[in-house]
C-alpha cells in the first residue's frame, strides 16, 4: 500500500480485486467506450465491477437489484449509471421468470454486450442469459447453489459466451493503483463503522439491515 492510502481503503482492496479480476477476464472487444453492460446485484462486488468497468471507459451501465435502497445508493456512488428494480420471483420457474422480466424491462437482445451476474441467484443467472445480446458475454461471479437451471437452448442458439470467475489472480497491484489514484472510490462503500469492542453489534447490523453495503471494524 502506498502512503497516500488509508487502512480503510486497504481493507477494501480484496473485494475490489475480485472486480478487477473479472473485468480483466472480459474480452476487450466486448468492453470499450461504446459497450453497454449490466451488473446484476448492487452489493459491494456489483458496485465495484461497475466502477472498474467505468474506469476502463465504459459509460453505459445498468445496475439491477431487488432492493430499492441499494439502487439508490448505487446512483449516489456512481452518478450517471442507470438502475432497475427487479421484483422478487414469486415462483420456482426461474427460466420463465427471467424471460418475462427481460420483456418487461424492454432490453434489446442486440444492445447489451456484457452482463456481470454478481448474486449467484438462479433467477438472476437466467435473467443474464435472456438480456445479453447474441454473441455477448455473461460473467458469472456470484457464488450460489452448486447446481441450477439454465436456458441451454438459448445459450447455444444465440452463442452466448459464459465465463466463470473465482476470486482473483494477479490483480492486487492494479486494484491498489485504481484506489490510490482515485479512479475507483473506496471509502464511500463503507456505510457503517464500529469499534473492535462493538464487533458483535457490527455482525448483527450486517445480518439485519439491507442498508448495509460494507461495515468497517477498527481498533
Alpha-carbon distance of 107 to 34, in angstroms, equals: 17
Residue 41 and residue 117 in contact, taking contact as beta carbons nearer than 8 Å: yes
Q: What is the pLDDT of residue 19?
A: 97
Average pLDDT over the chain, rounded to an integer:
90
**pLDDT tens digits for range 140-154:** 999 988 888 888 988
Confidence of residue 219 (pLDDT cuts 50, 70, 90): confident
Side-chain-side CA neighbours of residue 26 (13 Å)? 29
Q: Is the pLDDT of residue 88 over 80?
A: no
**pLDDT tens digits for range 123-137:** 899 899 989 999 999
Q: What is the pLDDT of residue 90?
A: 52
**pLDDT tens digits for range 106-126:** 765 568 999 999 999 988 998
Residue 98 and residue 104 in contact, taking contact as beta carbons nearer than 8 Å: no
Q: Does residue 105 or residue 70 have the better pLDDT? A: 70
- The x, y and z cell numbers of residue 213, run together, are 453495503
Alpha-carbon distance of 50 to 36, in angstroms, equals: 11
Residue 75 and residue 218 in contact, taking contact as beta carbons nearer than 8 Å: no
Residue 62 and residue 39 in contact, taking contact as beta carbons nearer than 8 Å: yes
Cα separation values, 51 from 159, 178, 198, 208, Å: 27, 10, 30, 26
Q: Is the pLDDT of residue 100 over 90?
A: no
Alpha-carbon distance of 10 to 2, in angstroms, equals: 10
**pLDDT tens digits for range 184-207:** 999 999 999 999 999 999 999 999
In degrees, rounded to 5, the angle at the alpha carbon of residue 189 between the alpha carbons of residues 184 and 6 is 70
Q: Is the pLDDT of residue 183 over 70?
A: yes
**pLDDT tens digits for range 66-82:** 999 999 999 999 998 99
Q: Is the pLDDT of residue 104 over 80?
A: no
**pLDDT tens digits for range 26-54:** 987 678 778 999 999 999 999 999 999 99
% of residues, the chain, pLDDT over 90? 69
Cα separation values, 165 from 3, 113, 158, Å: 31, 18, 21
Amino acid at each position: 500500500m502506498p502512503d497516500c492510502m488509508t487502512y480503510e481503503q486497504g481493507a477494501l482492496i480484496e473485494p475490489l480485486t475480485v472486480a478487477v479480476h473479472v473485468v480483466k477476464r472480459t474480452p476487450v472487444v466486448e468492453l470499450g467506450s461504446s459497450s453497454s453492460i449490466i451488473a446484476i446485484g448492487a452489493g459491494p462486488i456489483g458496485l465495484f465491477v461497475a466502477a472498474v468497468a467505468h474506469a476502463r471507459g465504459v459509460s453505459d451501465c445498468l445496475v439491477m437489484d431487488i432492493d430499492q435502497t441499494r439502487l439508490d445508493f448505487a446512483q449516489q456512488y456512481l452518478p450517471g449509471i442507470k438502475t432497475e428494480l427487479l421484483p422478487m420471483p414469486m415462483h420456482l420457474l426461474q427460466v420463465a421468470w427471467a424471460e418475462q422480466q427481460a420483456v418487461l424491462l424492454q432490453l434489446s437482445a442486440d444492445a447489451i454486450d456484457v452482463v456481470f451476474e454478481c448474486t449467484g441467484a438462479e433467477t438472476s443467472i437466467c435473467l443474464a442469459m435472456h438480456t445479453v445480446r447474441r454473441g455477448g458475454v455473461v460473467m458469472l461471479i456470484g457464488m450460489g447453489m452448486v447446481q441450477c437451471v439454465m436456458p441451454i437452448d438459448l445459450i447455444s442458439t444465440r452463442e452466448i459466451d459464459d465465463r466463470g470467475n473465482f476470486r482473483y489472480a494477479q490483480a492486487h497491484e492494479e486494484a491498489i493503483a485504481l484506489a490510490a489514484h482515485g479512479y475507483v472510490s473506496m471509502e464511500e462503500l463503507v456505510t457503517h463503522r464500529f469499534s473492535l469492542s462493538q464487533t458483535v453489534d457490527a455482525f448483527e447490523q450486517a445480518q439485519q439491515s439491507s442498508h448495509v453495503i460494507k461495515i468497517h471494524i477498527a481498533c
